[in-house]
Amino acid sequence: MMYRFLAAAILLCFYGTYLGKMLCQRRRGIQTDQMAKGDKPSSVRRTELVMKVATFLLAAVQAVSVLCGWSMMPVSARAAGAVLGLVGDGIFLAAVYTMRDSWRAGIAQGQNTQLVHSGIYRYSRNPAFLGFDVMYLGVLLLCFNPLLLLCTLFAIAMLHRQILQEEAFLPTAFGEAYTSYCRQVRRYWGRRR
């Protein structure tokens, strides 16, 4: 029962942060959700649409897994999952906070955003996506079942594909500043020497 509560708390914190940030930005006239919107190449729109579906599908499977109390893992793995889930929440929260009003979901063509390279972005070019991945793995360990495993792997693969698309777009938005940033900071975690 304790692990179900922890999994639910991790999900509420994560998705609450996501939705809360979107609502705060909407009140200031900022359209956060750019997934599969705007004038984008069809391959980008398709990836963003599949990414959106994968995210919603996984959130639903996570919720059902928690509510049903599904878990095929020993207590030690579930404890590790709780730690990972909380770390994922923390990484995501730090990323969203550091981005301030430049945070978007999807490629934001034609939007006035700034290149953020302070805070957690000094150590990861994609900490929000890293937060997603770590939280996803944590909840997977907490509520392990085959359906959750498949949906988690699919969502993580789509997040990686989304990162690759965004990293192909960002040099056109920020030029040499982004290219220099890529030479200093790794995609997921770590600084280059």
Q: Residue 111: its pLDDT value, please?
A: 62
Q: What torsion, rounded to 10 degrees, do the Cα atoms 182, 86, 32, 19 define?
A: 180
- pLDDT tens for the chain, 193 residues: list them: 799 999 999 999 999 999 999 898 889 887 877 776 778 788 888 988 999 999 999 999 999 999 998 888 999 999 999 999 999 999 999 999 998 877 777 666 666 678 899 999 999 999 999 999 999 999 999 999 999 999 999 999 999 999 999 899 889 888 999 999 999 999 999 988 7
Give phi and psi for 191, each to the nearest 5: -100, 150
Residue count of the chain, please give it.
193
How many other CB atoms sit within 10 Å of the CB of residue 181?
17
- 86: Cβ contacts below 8 Å, ≥ 6 apart: 10, 138
Q: Residue 22: its pLDDT value, please?
A: 86
Both structure tokens of 165: 């698309």
